[in-house]
Structure 1
Amino acid sequence: MILNTVETGEGPALVMLHGLMGAAQNFGGLARRLGQTHRVLAMDARNHGASPHAPGMDYTALAEDVAETMAARGIDRAAVLGHSMGGKIAMMLALTRPALVERLVVADISPVRYAAPSRAYVVAMQGLALTPGMTRRDAMAALLPAVPEEGIRGFLLQNLVFDGEAPRWRVALDSIAAGMGAIEDFAPPAGARYDGPALFIRGTRSDYVLPAYMPAIAGFFPHAQHAAVEAAHWVHSENPHAFLAALEPFLAA
């Protein structure tokens, strides 16, 4: 599958991969900054943003989508950065297609299975009645009982498109819901490892990268480096200056 890609800048290629229910546009300011030194390609995952909809959300398929999109744009090797679900896609690409990955950056995720609250968010989105005349404010209020955190509600509702009588979801909710087990999991081929440079950037107020997960990281990525940013899970948007301070020297090395 060829993914919708937002491209900016010139220089060494840098692929950027968003998290669940995100889109390439989430990297806006960060992509523009990195575009000063790199050819940045921010990709919408399948069933997200403006990319095609298709069944199957396992990381092998998602990584192959990235590989196909790189090939279509004439890129045979790139630095690859992914956040959350995008970090798992980036890790799977590095483990299964290491020749494509010049260096790897993983933002606040580990190569482990999670029992995350994301499944409840998908159910809440599926249950939202999209009625004629509904406004974004109406949708925010309707999601409140299931998703009390205002920031998360706003993030999810970035996927609501108001271009007709009633709003519609940009994301393929049914395919994502059917694939939640695969999204929460991480199952690379037996014996897989990536011997290139890797940087794991975690949020200090997040529980997605814990000491218990370090053996898994070291097993798959023996040359992994680590950095901590004062932030919760959305490290790159919550503290972009500290995130860039950790990221840019690694990309320039």
Structure 2
Amino acid sequence: MSPSWVPWVVAFLSTALRLDASVTQGRDSPEDFVTQAKADCYFTNGTEKVRFVVRFIFNLEEYARFDSDLGMFVALTELGKPDAERWNNRPDILARSRASVDMLCRRNYYLGAPFTVGRRVQPEVTVYPEKTPALQHRNLLLCLVTGFYPGDIKVTWFRNGQEQREGIMSTGLIRNGDWTFQMTVMLAMTPELGEVYTCLVDHPSLLSPVSVEWSENQLVLSGPSWGRSDSGQGLCYLPIHLGHSTSSSL
């Protein structure tokens, strides 16, 4: 954050909190209460369309907001009506709030884009059976994809080169807590001689999709099949709650 950026943020949030605090003045308020001001920026197609919304909250209930699409304050409860009317009659408050589309949202977007919008981390892919495999015994093949960013990813299962659309389950996207994601996509299968199963992963960080194969030849092997798109660290296995999916393309 650049030095010229800090004063605007501090000034705006200070103003918002002062406005929010005014809701309790001259009114019956409980001895203990919480007042909040929350500002959000919404971006469409980069900064082509930007919407700025600041919400004013009293005891967890939003009572008024400013919406840049409307260019004014709006009351959401009876409590917010006098405040919204008063703020809308203050040209200085309206001007600062409207200017936040550029001064807060667009400026913050360009400052943070290299670390968020432009950030790319390649996935690591592992394929392994749910339980010790045996020929002609029902099993699940798991394709664990982890450590990737952003969250846009497509995982597809193939059996002998044919895309599989039945018997697919997925955990959905899971946040790792370190600005990366993971996902496990499972295929219900019964291994037969000569069969080859392939998990294909496509992600914005990859020049071309990564594929990892598993076949009945690995029935005598221990451990999973690894597919790594970079030289990162080993994988961390986490507990997984299964969820059904009707498609293998996520």
Task: Report the TM-score, using the length of structure 2 for normalisation.
Answer: 0.22
| Greater relative contact order structure (CA < 8 Å, 6+ sep) | 1
Decide which structure has greater helix share: 1
Task: Report the TM-score, using the length of structure 1 for normalisation.
Answer: 0.22
Decide which structure has greater strand share: 2
Q: Of the two, which has the highest radius of gyration?
A: 2
